[in-house]
Chains A and B, each alone.
Chain A
Amino acid sequence: MGSEIRFILNDDEVVARKPAGRTVLDFVRRDRRLVGTKVGCREGDCGACTVLVGRRAEEGRVRYRSMTSCLMPLGNAHGAHVVTVEGLNVDGLSPDGLNPVQRAMAEEGATQCGFCTVGFVVSLAGFCLAAEEITAEEAVAAIDGNICRCTGYKSIERAAARVSAALAPADVEERVGWLASNGWIPASFVSIPGRLAELGASVPYEGTASGTGRRGSVGGGTDLWVQRPEEMEGAPVDLLLDDPRLRGIREEGGRIVLGASTTVQEMRESPLLLRLFPRLKRHLKLVSSTPIRNMATLGGNLVNASPIGDLTIFLLALEAELLLADGETRRRLPLADLYRGYKELDLATDERVVSISFAAPGGGTRFNFEKVSKRTHLDIASVNSALRLEVEDGVIREGTLAAGGVAPVPFRLPATSAGLAGRPAAAETARWAAASALEEIAPISDVRGSAEYKRLLLRQLVYAHFVELFPETVPVEALL
């Protein structure tokens, strides 16, 4: 067990004797004076602080993902390769000192005040290193967590398109080697897999002895460092993100089991889940942004207990069940029973979520997720909702409706869910379900919308579920 955080920062091996709860942002800017990484919000919402984090993956490779360093606890860098813009600059190859990503942005006029720019460069580098599909669309998707107030984005989109076009010949098998030998990234990237293996970080990081009291569970940190940043710096933490026992997505005896530390992005990339939920990619694109999805865990989403947590709503409709562990003591709990009141949980102080499981969808399963927020992407829902139906011969055998933003807890609507059974997959059922749902909910007016709006919106989202799931039998005109 170690109390040192070991990782590679750009080209340097680092042994940090700092609290695990210090943010990577403060570490690089303050402790290392790498001031290329900027501070825009410290809330994960602007992307100015984006860094790449490479972790060892299958076949001795390193898998890079973008993350907002303002919310990333230093402890989660243990064993990883952390890359800031300083580690992406390629010197001595071109007269302007720019790598192809940077040059594309310069040529398209994609930088004005420049404060956001580094974040975009890093996110696009992440695309170059890790994208499975090299398309302009995916290049733009890589910058969905970066806010720019000056350019209006069009020039950045053009630069992203250029990057993806120039990347087309890249060898997919040997991407890092190709990028390094073509001057996209420093040559030192090539040796990183070997260096990470030798880092001695196989000893898991055990957290600092500093601070007393209970060690709190930490997943990706995307909630904790927004809610309690100052407290977290010195807090004793139990880092769960890399715990192999909490990871993985598998099918077990007709159930789908997701480790609690599975990230949203990992769900979005899981072949198993994509097979079962063909629209999953689209649905999960509505959850936060690429760098946040790269950090945010399922366990964190559920335990955070936000009444509008997207994954929570998703899983409530799937009638998911939790496996909880407190030391050796284990128990199972239906997800819906976890929530007792606003941010009040049926979870003991030292209890951890180990995994979440739900019955594998069958041939008759229909599932849809809807979310409306002020800004479509990188925003918290005004109302979100998921509907799962088991349909046989045009008749609903049973189903569950869940909705967020309409109650003090993420809400599984019991009466409406129960009443779905036996009804036809038709517009009249949509109307009935909406009306029934409105009887069950009690939204409050807040910054995400008035109660009146949230009620109307839930009705519309229930309609949208039916229109999406039954385009043949539920003509949209019937619900307008």
Chain B
Amino acid sequence: MRNIDSAGHLRGESLYLDDLPELEGTLHAAVFGSPVAHGRVRRLEIGPALETPGVVAVLTAAEIPGENQIGGILPDEPLLAEDEVHYDGQPMAIVVAVDEAVARRATRAIRAEIDELPAITDPREARRRGLLIQPPRTFSCGDVDAAWEDCAYVVEGVAESGGQEHLYLETQGAYAHRTEKGGLRIWSSTQGPTVVQRCVARVLGLPMKEIEVDVTRLGGGFGGKEDQASAWATMAALASLRTARPVKLVPHRLDDLRMTGTRHPYSSDFRIGLDEDLKIVAYEVTFHQNAGAAADLSPAVLERTLFHATNAYFVPNVRATAYSCRTNLAPNTAFRGFGGPQGMFVMEAAIAAVAERAGVEAAEIQRRNLVRVGDTFPYGQAVDEPTAEATWDRCAERYDLAGLRRRVAEHNARDPVRKLGLAVMPIAFGIAFTKTHMNQASVLVHVYGDGSVGVSTAAVEMGQGINTKLVQIAARVLSIDPSRVKIETTNTTRVANTSPTAASASADLNGHALVRACSAIRGRLLSLAANELGLEAGSVDLREERVVVGATATRLGRESLDWESLVRAAFFRRVDLSEHAFYATPGIHFDAETEKGSPFGYLVYGTAIVLASVDRLRGTYEIEAVHVVHDVGESLNPTVDGGQVEGGIVQGIGWMTMEEVIYDEAGRLRSGALSTYKIPDVYAAPKRLEYELFETESGNGAVYRSKAVGEPPLMYGIGAFFAIRDAIRAASPEARPSLVAPLTPERVLLALYPQGERATEAAFAEGEESPAEVR
């Protein structure tokens, strides 16, 4: 089934936040951000901004009626900075004006007098100074210190991965207006309506019941609107409260880039040990997570890094320690994969490094160490399906890994300039919020008198196709045509206490709850039908909109008993046609004291082969092909799931190759525009991308066994890094490219020619005439 929103998107009729018709008297807001990354505020001069024609109000922390605090996990982040600033662009004041351009221009009239303090951008330096978000955490199993003895190969090194801007095509945004009795209604571009509701209530000093949050859809989220939509919504709400007018706040892309965080950069030390048989015996890793200036979701992201520190491999002796380091960057936050990719990257880097030492293909080591049924991950969860090996083997066979490798070698022997490289990337990614309590969802279903159905859930549609899947589920349980079902906006007054749409878990959580709600209604309708027909309950069934007994359609009087007449009958017989249902993932647990448990409902596995080419003359590269076998359990919607696979891979490739978040020493973002921060365009996508949605027999907790698919494919992109690296080594066997991502053309060229251009001058000095003579 096609994405149910396709036609609206393609005709330009789908409404996003900034497209909503404006209420009378709407004002527009813009945010003034700190001009420095760290300092003590002496004075904030807002007078000139206030005097700008068209400006209605300039709001500072002093105007906040409740608590000036938006930190979700830790209370360490003010909505508007007061005495100190901790990152460049940190919001200090909100300008509210008659239009956006006036508001933006007026922010430039604000002056902040700040005594600058040194800015820290490097997480290792933050650790040295004891600037940690929380005490370090360690996951371990076996006895690492003793295990090195048993290793034939031990390699240690440093691996680094960079930040990644979410670059949702729709920027953040919110639109707030007052309702009667001092409440507020807020349209927000958020993945977490309840997160926004809670945050606004806290800052405005109102009970949650007075705050209604509504979300139609997002023009992309990727984690960037899980926690970080709240600040914008709260600022819009505050402005609306103070001006008594509707206020829209949609930041300019440049402000969005500067003021919001990215995927966490990590700098990590690893040590890996293998025995003669290439079995990984021991792995030790220390992660330095660059959290930015406030906790935001960093502790939870860090936890997932630890969960996925050994990726899809069984390692008997592990010690993984993670430091969440406080720096003077905009707080970093959730991004598809949520720390998992950063953990896996270090593991893959370690394998690449030890493969070079042992003189074998990395794939040899990877294949030999994949998890099997009965293995446990360092945090205690047992592997209960053979899918890691199964997807690897299927991928190797279907896409002829051996043949590909041969062709790469043949090509490289022939072509002096364009070198090919290959890498295999297996993944294992756990599904559930790692905070067990968040694994809950509720839905509200109404069947209307005409047989059409309205569904409200906690899930937010942001392109991942959740609404399409929910339509499918409701139609399936109720045995009706999907066109009868409408997915309503996500609204805190219809569904309360929602978990954000994140962790790939929304289809599972909301889908299961929806199955329950629809089943209850179906049950009531069937008992009514049996009753009306004078049959035993349980003898009638609903199939393709008809009440049947066995395979025979039924009649009630002269009419055939179909969906519409059944619903009509239910209404007149005073049967409840609405249902609220709740779901909480069973059986998951985790104990943070011992760092052990079984936190995931299930894991998603898969394997990708990535082929890259490097132009040895120019240092540029292309991703030639990606071949994937991806575990879906049993796909509820292959079009939607395939779209997630393709999109995730390209996003992952972007993170590993061209997407480079650059800060200067003063903590200012240098890559703060689309002209300086590059994400893949159509030509940067792999030339070929083939995937198989791999079906398995094993039981899993997914709704209709259709496994979560949002995040895992991103991690195949890690293979691009190692494929390019492989090509560099094919071009220049003595090259020892560092394990630093992203692997930009700059890093590639410098790796290809480690002496840089100095060699040129040397050649020049020997025998050629000097340019001075020519001049």
Mark A residues whose CB is within 8 Å of B. 33, 35-43, 45-46, 48, 84-86, 89, 96-98, 102, 105-107, 109, 111-118, 121, 140, 143-144, 146-157, 226, 230, 233, 370, 372-380, 382, 414-416, 418-419, 428, 431-432, 434-436, 438-440, 446-450, 452-453, 455-457, 459-461, 463-464, 467, 476-477, 479-480
Find residues 87-114 in chain B having any chain A CB closer than 8 Å to their own CB: 101, 104-105
- Partner of B11 from A89, A372, A419 at Cβ < 8 Å: A89
Residues from chain A with Cβ under 8 Å of B19 in the complex: 35
Residues from chain A with Cβ under 8 Å of B619 in the complex: 372, 457, 460
Cβ-closest chain B residue relative to A437: B771
- Partner of A114 from B219, B676, B680, B768 at Cβ < 8 Å: B219
Residues from chain B with Cβ under 8 Å of A414 in the complex: 775
Q: For residue A209, give the distance in angstroms from its CB to the closest CB of chain B.
A: 21
Cβ-closest chain A residue relative to B765: A435
The reply on B757 being an interface residue by CB < 8 A is: yes
Find residues 418-448 in chain B having any chain A CB closer than 8 Å to their own CB: none
Residues from chain B with Cβ under 8 Å of A96 in the complex: 7
Is A115 in contact with B170, judged by CB distance below 8 angstroms? yes
Q: How far is the CA of A86 from the CA of B619 in the complex (A)?
A: 44
Is A156 in contact with B682, judged by CB distance below 8 angstroms? yes
Residues from chain A with Cβ under 8 Å of B749 in the complex: 453, 456-457, 460
Known: A109-B2, A149-B647, A476-B417. 6 other contacts (CB 8 A): A109-B642, A113-B218, A114-B217, A114-B463, A154-B650, A428-B768
With A98-B11, A115-B16, A476-B617 already in contact, the answer to whether A149 and B673 are too (CB < 8 A) is no
Residues from chain A with Cβ under 8 Å of B616 in the complex: 480
- Partner of A112 from B101, B104, B647 at Cβ < 8 Å: B647
Find residues 144-175 in chain B having any chain A CB closer than 8 Å to their own CB: 166-171
The reply on B60 being an interface residue by CB < 8 A is: no
Residues from chain A with Cβ under 8 Å of B170 in the complex: 38, 40, 113, 115
The reply on B465 being an interface residue by CB < 8 A is: yes
Residues from chain A with Cβ under 8 Å of B69 in the complex: none
Residues from chain B with Cβ under 8 Å of A39 in the complex: 18
Residues from chain A with Cβ under 8 Å of B647 in the complex: 112, 149-152
Counting chain B residues whose Cβ lies within 8 A of the other chain, the interface size class is 35 or more
Is A375 in contact with B18, judged by CB distance below 8 angstroms? no
Is A447 in contact with B662, judged by CB distance below 8 angstroms? yes
Is A147 in contact with B681, judged by CB distance below 8 angstroms? yes
- Partner of B646 from A86, A144, A152, A374 at Cβ < 8 Å: A152
The reply on B640 being an interface residue by CB < 8 A is: yes
Q: For residue B442, give the distance in angstroms from its CB to the closest CB of chain A.
A: 25
Q: How far is the CA of A479 from the CA of B768 in the complex (A)?
A: 16
Residues from chain A with Cβ under 8 Å of B104 in the complex: 230
Residues from chain B with Cβ under 8 Å of A446 in the complex: 670
Residues from chain B with Cβ under 8 Å of A33 in the complex: 21
Q: How far is the CA of A376 from the CA of B15 in the complex (A)?
A: 33
Residues from chain A with Cβ under 8 Å of B253 in the complex: 40-43
Q: How far is the CA of A418 from the CA of B772 in the complex (A)?
A: 11
Find residues 259-317 in chain B having any chain A CB closer than 8 Å to their own CB: none
With A380-B675, A439-B771 already in contact, the answer to whether A455 and B618 are too (CB < 8 A) is no
Find residues 7-28 in chain B having any chain A CB closer than 8 Å to their own CB: 7-16, 18-19, 21
With A85-B11, A374-B660, A456-B749 already in contact, the answer to whether A113 and B462 are too (CB < 8 A) is yes
Cβ-closest chain A residue relative to B169: A115
Interface of B is mostly: loop
Is A436 in contact with B774, judged by CB distance below 8 angstroms? yes
Find residues 678-696 in chain B having any chain A CB closer than 8 Å to their own CB: 678-686, 689
The reply on B750 being an interface residue by CB < 8 A is: yes
Is B760 in contact with A230, judged by CB distance below 8 angstroms? no
Residues from chain B with Cβ under 8 Å of A450 in the complex: 746
Is B617 in contact with A479, judged by CB distance below 8 angstroms? yes
Cβ-closest chain B residue relative to A119: B169
Interface pairs (13), CB distance under 8 Å: A40-B253, A43-B675, A109-B3, A109-B640, A112-B643, A121-B10, A154-B650, A375-B658, A434-B757, A434-B760, A436-B774, A438-B761, A450-B746
With A109-B642, A140-B682, A377-B681 already in contact, the answer to whether A431 and B617 are too (CB < 8 A) is no
Residues from chain A with Cβ under 8 Å of B75 in the complex: none
Is B168 in contact with A149, judged by CB distance below 8 angstroms? yes
The reply on B671 being an interface residue by CB < 8 A is: yes
Q: How far is the CA of A376 from the CA of B622 in the complex (A)?
A: 9
Is A118 in contact with B12, judged by CB distance below 8 angstroms? yes
With A40-B253, A449-B746 already in contact, the answer to whether A111 and B756 are too (CB < 8 A) is no
Q: For residue B663, give the distance in angstroms from its CB to the closest CB of chain A.
A: 10
The 5 closest A-B pairs by CB, nearest first: A36-B12, A113-B463, A115-B219, A114-B9, A152-B650
Most buried by B among A98, A109, A446, A467: A109
Is B658 in contact with A459, judged by CB distance below 8 angstroms? no
Residues from chain A with Cβ under 8 Å of B775 in the complex: 414-415, 418-419
With A375-B678, A376-B683 already in contact, the answer to whether A431 and B169 are too (CB < 8 A) is no
Residues from chain A with Cβ under 8 Å of B774 in the complex: 415, 418-419, 436
- Partner of B643 from A155, A435, A456, A457 at Cβ < 8 Å: A155
- Partner of A157 from B9, B670, B682 at Cβ < 8 Å: B682
- Partner of B650 from A146, A153, A434, A456 at Cβ < 8 Å: A153
- Partner of A435 from B6, B416, B768 at Cβ < 8 Å: B768
Residues from chain A with Cβ under 8 Å of B15 in the complex: 35
Residues from chain B with Cβ under 8 Å of A107 in the complex: 2
- Partner of A37 from B12, B13, B670, B689 at Cβ < 8 Å: B12
With A233-B101, A435-B761 already in contact, the answer to whether A374 and B10 are too (CB < 8 A) is no
With A112-B463, A467-B617 already in contact, the answer to whether A435 and B11 are too (CB < 8 A) is no
Q: For residue B775, give the distance in angstroms from its CB to the closest CB of chain A.
A: 4
Residues from chain B with Cβ under 8 Å of A46 in the complex: 169, 674
Cβ-closest chain A residue relative to B16: A115
Q: For residue B204, give the distance in angstroms from its CB to the closest CB of chain A.
A: 29
The reply on B237 being an interface residue by CB < 8 A is: no
Most buried by B among A121, A153, A155: A153
Q: How far is the CA of A39 from the CA of B417 in the complex (A)?
A: 41
Residues from chain A with Cβ under 8 Å of B744 in the complex: 374
The reply on B701 being an interface residue by CB < 8 A is: no
Residues from chain A with Cβ under 8 Å of B3 in the complex: 106, 109, 111-112
Q: How far is the CA of A90 from the CA of B670 in the complex (A)?
A: 44
Cβ-closest chain A residue relative to B763: A431
Q: How far is the CA of A290 from the CA of B171 in the complex (A)?
A: 24
Find residues 31-87 in chain B having any chain A CB closer than 8 Å to their own CB: none
The reply on B648 being an interface residue by CB < 8 A is: yes
The reply on B500 being an interface residue by CB < 8 A is: no
Residues from chain A with Cβ under 8 Å of B10 in the complex: 98, 102, 105-106, 111, 114, 117-118, 121
The reply on B464 being an interface residue by CB < 8 A is: yes
Cβ-closest chain B residue relative to A459: B757
Is A447 in contact with B757, judged by CB distance below 8 angstroms? no
Is A435 in contact with B12, judged by CB distance below 8 angstroms? no
Q: How far is the CA of A96 from the CA of B11 in the complex (A)?
A: 11
Residues from chain B with Cβ under 8 Å of A117 in the complex: 9-10
With A378-B681, A463-B617 already in contact, the answer to whether A151 and B11 are too (CB < 8 A) is no
Residues from chain B with Cβ under 8 Å of A48 in the complex: 169
With A85-B12, A115-B16, A419-B774 already in contact, the answer to whether A154 and B646 are too (CB < 8 A) is yes
Q: How far is the CA of A476 from the CA of B525 in the complex (A)?
A: 77
- Partner of B617 from A116, A382, A480 at Cβ < 8 Å: A480
With A113-B218, A440-B771, A452-B756 already in contact, the answer to whether A447 and B101 are too (CB < 8 A) is no
Q: For residue A314, give the distance in angstroms from its CB to the closest CB of chain B.
A: 18
Q: For residue A351, give the distance in angstroms from its CB to the closest CB of chain B.
A: 28
Residues from chain A with Cβ under 8 Å of B753 in the complex: 456, 460
Q: How far is the CA of A151 from the CA of B648 in the complex (A)?
A: 8
- Partner of A115 from B6, B220, B252, B617 at Cβ < 8 Å: B220
Contact with A along B475-497 (1 / 0, CB 8 A): 00000000000000000000000
- Partner of B683 from A85, A86, A144 at Cβ < 8 Å: A144
Is B651 in contact with A152, judged by CB distance below 8 angstroms? yes
Cβ-closest chain A residue relative to B764: A435
Residues from chain B with Cβ under 8 Å of A113 in the complex: 168-170, 217-220, 462-463
